[in-house]
Chain A
Amino acid sequence: MVKRVVTGNYAAAFAAMLARVDVIAAYPITPQTFIVEHLSEFVNDGLLDSAFMRCESEHSAMSACVAASATGVRTYTATASQGLALMHEVLFIAGSAHLPVVMPVVNRTVAGPIGIWAEHNDTMPQRDTGWMQVYVEDNQEVMDMTIQAFKIAEDKRVLLPIMVCLDAFILSHTVEPVDFPDQDKVDKFLPPYRPDHAVLDPKDPMIIGSFSPPEYIQEVRYQTDETMRNALEVVEEVNAEWAKEFGRDYGGLIEEYKTEGADAILITLGTVTSTARDIVDEYRAAGKKVGLVKLRFFRPYPTEAIRKVASKCKAIGVYDRAVSFSAGGPSWIEARNALYGYTIPVINVLAGLGGRDVTEPDIRLMFDKVLEAAEKGEAENEIVWIGTRGVKP
């Protein structure tokens, strides 16, 4: 194991190399560009023996991954923002055909107005495409989860594609010390991909994607749903194996931080988690009973894990870096759905949209709102916009 100081994008690219991907198809988009640049360097320096398709669009990049995956090889791409939006219709095919494509997505705001900084309104709308989504907090997690992603996606109980979501610039362009796993250990952890459900081979003809009448499609939907549910267990297993082999335990579907004895718990996702962890320490030192849950997997959604958390506190706040207009943040909507029947207040805190910094005072305010709800047993406002000009939080 070697420790190097690298960007999140470098970690994402290097992880693809460690996973020995067969076919890479990609198109550059800020802030994902370094991923394709690094991969190009690895290929041109002879370090990475992959077919590398430098496509003319993200739509084609995802199409190439789907076609190559359907032919039976390990595939990888990476994108962000508009690129992911352009891929949208292709994403469904990977999900329904059970093609375990792995794709880091550098979370960037989707226009308009056009911007390049962190927001989750690119990945959140892809919720129903049949892709798993894991949100990561630091560059080590980018590396570790990109490798784990292959193992989870290729598990025969799952066979679904997966996005590894990392915040624009905060991770993609920021250097951090990262432990680089040894190749031989990764090889042992992640054996070659040998599918039998999706292989286009003239010696054993198979049709993938035939035009299907209503008599058949509902079962396909059911199977995608079933395998997405299977992933709940597989995520935990793979996390445990990773922890055993590489010494880093991410908690699986969610990570709890000082939730024991907490009255008010904040559920975060992405990089905001790190700052929130500091505030938990600060508040705990001041005698305030707060705790933190880092939501790692958004799909499959860890309903049971969230219920367990809710059953031990008095109020929950859910942080979102995206909003479903008139309905609240996507992560909050999911949490409320999971907590139907629970009587504790569950409030939504929205901040950092368009890449605005989410500062320590912002997060203190979030905890204060949740603490207030815990104390009163109800919330004045269910949806709280924090740090918005002209809007009282």
Chain B
Amino acid sequence: MDRHQGGETIGITIKTLPEEELFTSGHTACGGCGAPIVVRAAMKILGPNTVTYFPACCLLVFGGTYPHNAFKVPYLHVLFENSAICAAGIKQALNKQGKEDVNVVAFAGDGGTGDIGFQALSGAAERNEDILYICYDNEAYMNTGIQRSGSTPFGAWTTTTPAGTKIGGKELFKKDIPKIMMAHNVPYVATASVGHPADMLRKIEKAKNMKGFRYLQIFAPCPTGWRMDTAKTVEVAKKAVNSGMWTLFEMVDGVITLSVKPKMEPVDDYLKMQGRFRHLTDEQIKIIQGWAYKKNEMDLKFVEAFSEDKKE
């Protein structure tokens, strides 16, 4: 049985995106930050009939440190690791008040989603709570000063995986949170990127129009933490997809489709644009390249195995 209803997109594009800003200018994100691109676009699509939730994360601070506020819709912050359950609590309470039409969205970083927030996320997904969960993935704990998270890629410098003389950056690989969410068999799971805005908008709109638990993980570079040019956010995000470092796909009711076929360009260009990879040895770059190939191969098999024609 399908766990969702709806899901039809009316086709919002960059040109037809509503002009009204619900996440306004004046917020205090760093130059080039990918997160506000996600939030601004999502709020335009979700519209004013929305309640939002943020954990302790960059967005909580740059979106509105009291008495300032960049949001024109209500928001709640409770703690760090409970975004999914708090959004679910809001939704249940709205339903009890007869306000079933209100969208409830949680925006959270990768650490608050896949590390400390994972238990609440998994629980809410298992119960198919009727919320949209958007993870802006900037691959580390940026708000607290660039510490590694489960989402930090191999080799990356962070303040807790420094480029030391003995160990150069993170020794472990990026945690594949989207696939873990797919394993929850929720109505909608998708990855997106600020480097592919049309695809991102389409997915946000699709998720908005569905019911049940919807999960979006959006690749959002952090120039401050990635030690990169603040003007290159979109370019770096594009290169991540083109090199196979980040895969764009979506799962609707168990059917997985690839959104953009990776070109599998060498990872070197992507890595060279970011100071967090500056220390890498040739051997480490080889490991990352190998990881990208392997990931691509696995992703294609995965998509094939859960494609429409494999569905009974």
Q: Are A207 and B71 in contact (CB under 8 A)?
A: yes
Chain A positions within 8 Å of B65 at CB level: 210-213
Binds A, one of B46-54, B172-180, B219-227: B46-54
Point out the residue from A51, A67, A73, A213 that lies within 8 Å of B78, measured CB to CB. Answer: A67
Shortest distance in angstroms between B69's beta carbon and chain A's nearest beta carbon?
A: 6
Minimum distance in angstroms from B124 CB to a CB of chain A: 8
B285 at the A/B interface (Cβ < 8 Å)? no
Taken together as a complex, chains A and B put the C-alpha atoms of A70 and B73 apart, in Å, by: 15
**A60 B72 Cβ-Cβ under 8 A:** no
State A72–B88 Cα separation when bound (angstroms). 14
Please, which residue of chain A has its CB at the minimum distance from the CB of B49? Answer: A202
Residues of A within 8 A of B86 (CB): 63-64, 66-67
Q: How far is the CB of B195 from chain A (nearest CB, A)?
A: 29
Q: Choose the segment among B115-123, B184-192, B204-212, B239-247 that binds chain A (4+ C-beta atoms closer than 8 Å).
A: B115-123
| Contact B66 A70, beta carbon cutoff 8 Å | no
Which B residues from 99 to 124 make CB contacts under 8 A with A? Answer: 99, 102, 119-120, 122-123
Evaluate contact between B76 and A208: CB separation under 8 angstroms.
Answer: yes
Least CB distance, B111 to chain A, in whole angstroms: 17
Q: Mark B30-56, 1 if CB is under 8 A from A, else 0.
A: 000000000000000000111101000
Choose from A53, A60, A68 the contact partner of B82 (Cβ within 8 Å): A60
A142 to B288, CA, bound (A): 61
- The residue on B at minimum CB distance from A27 is B123
Within the assembled complex, what's the spacing in Å between the Cα atoms of A205 and B122?
A: 29
Q: What are the interface flags for A41-85 relative to B under an 8 Å C-beta threshold, 1 for contact and 0 otherwise?
A: 000000000110111110110011111111111010000000000
| B93 A67 Cβ-Cβ under 8 A | yes
A71 touches B127 (CB 8 A): no
Contacts of A216 in B (CB 8 A): 66-67
- B51 and A200 within 8 A (CB): yes
Interfacial chain A residues near B48, Cβ < 8 Å:
202
Known: A23-B96, A63-B89. A202 touches B77 (CB 8 A): no
Partner pick for A207 among B74, B97, B127, CB 8 A cutoff: B74
Chain B CB within 10 Å, residue with most, of A89, A93, A211, A212: A211
- What is the CA–CA distance of A22 and B99 in the complex, to the nearest angstrom? 14
Interface residues on B, range: 35 or more
Does the CB pair A56–B92 fall under 8 Å?
A: no
| C-alpha gap A59/B79 in the complex (Å) | 10
Residues in B whose Cβ lies below 8 Å from that of A72: 93, 97
Residues in chain A near residue B89, CB distance under 8 A: 23, 25, 53, 63-68, 71
**What residue in chain A is nearest B75 (Cβ atoms)?**
A207
Q: Are A70 and B79 interface neighbours, CB within 8 A?
A: no
Task: Say whether, besides A202-B73, A210-B65, A59 and B49 are in contact (CB < 8 Å).
Answer: no
Shortest beta-carbon distance from B161 to chain A in Å: 27
| Cβ contacts under 8 Å, A205 to chain B | 71-74
**Pair A60/B123 contact, Cβ less than 8 Å:** yes
Q: What's the Cα separation between A25 and B78 when bound, in Å?
A: 16
User: What is the minimal beta-carbon distance from A366 to any residue of chain B, in angstroms?
Assistant: 42
Contacts of A70 in B (CB 8 A): 76, 78, 90
Q: Which residues of B contact A53 (CB under 8 A)?
A: 88-89, 92, 127
Is B25 among interface residues, defined by CB-CB distance under 8 A?
no
A54 touches B127 (CB 8 A): yes
Q: Is B12's CB within 8 Å of the partner chain A?
A: no
B73 close to A209 (CB less than 8 A): no
Contact B90 A68 (CB under 8 A): yes
Shortest CB-to-CB span from B39 to chain A, Å, is 15
- Asked if A295 is at the interface of the complex by the 8 Å CB criterion, the answer is no
Closest residue on chain B to residue A21 by CB atoms: B96
Interchain CA distance A69-B86 in the complex, whole Å = 10
Name the distance in Å between B97's Cβ and chain A's nearest Cβ.
7
Cβ of A232 < 8 Å from any Cβ of B? no
Nearest B-chain residue to A52, judged by Cβ: B92
Complex CA gap A207/B51 in Å reads 10
Nearest B residue to A50 via CB reads B96
Q: Report how far A89 CA is from B120 CA in the complex, Å.
A: 15
Task: Say whether B123 contacts A68, CB under 8 Å.
Answer: no
Which chain B residues border A293 with CB–CB below 8 Å?
none
Q: Does B255 contact A (CB under 8 A)?
A: no
> What separation, in Å, do the CA atoms of A23 and B90 have in the docked complex?
10
Whether A73 and B96, one on each chain, are in contact in the complex, defined by CB atoms closer than 8 angstroms, is yes
Contacts of A211 in B (CB 8 A): 60-61, 64-66, 77
- A241 CB to closest chain B CB (Å) equals 27
Chain A residue numbers with a CB within 8 Å of B66 are 210-213, 216
Give the docked Cα–Cα distance between A201 and B85 (Å): 18
A45 to B49, CA, bound (A): 34
Known: A54-B127, A200-B74, A208-B76. A22 touches B69 (CB 8 A): no
Q: Which residues of A contact B9 (CB under 8 A)?
A: none
User: A67 and B95: CB pair below 8 A?
Assistant: no
Give every chain A residue within 8 A of B60 (Cβ-Cβ): 210-211
> Does B182 sit at the interface, judged by CB under 8 A?
no
**A-B CB contact pairs (8 Å), 19 listed:** A23-B92, A63-B85, A63-B120, A64-B92, A67-B85, A67-B87, A68-B89, A68-B96, A69-B93, A70-B90, A200-B94, A201-B99, A207-B71, A208-B77, A210-B65, A210-B69, A211-B61, A213-B66, A216-B66
Residues of A within 8 A of B (CB): 22-23, 25, 50-51, 53-57, 59-60, 63-73, 75, 89-90, 93, 200-202, 205-213, 216
A-B pairs with lowest CB-CB distance, top 8:
A67-B89, A56-B123, A71-B93, A209-B77, A64-B89, A68-B93, A63-B82, A67-B86
Q: B residues within 8 Å of A by Cβ? A: 48-51, 53, 60-61, 64-67, 69, 71-79, 81-82, 85-90, 92-97, 99, 102, 119-120, 122-123, 126-127
Instruction: List 4 extra interface pairs beyond A63-B120, A209-B77, A211-B60, CB under 8 A.
Output: A51-B95, A60-B82, A64-B89, A200-B90
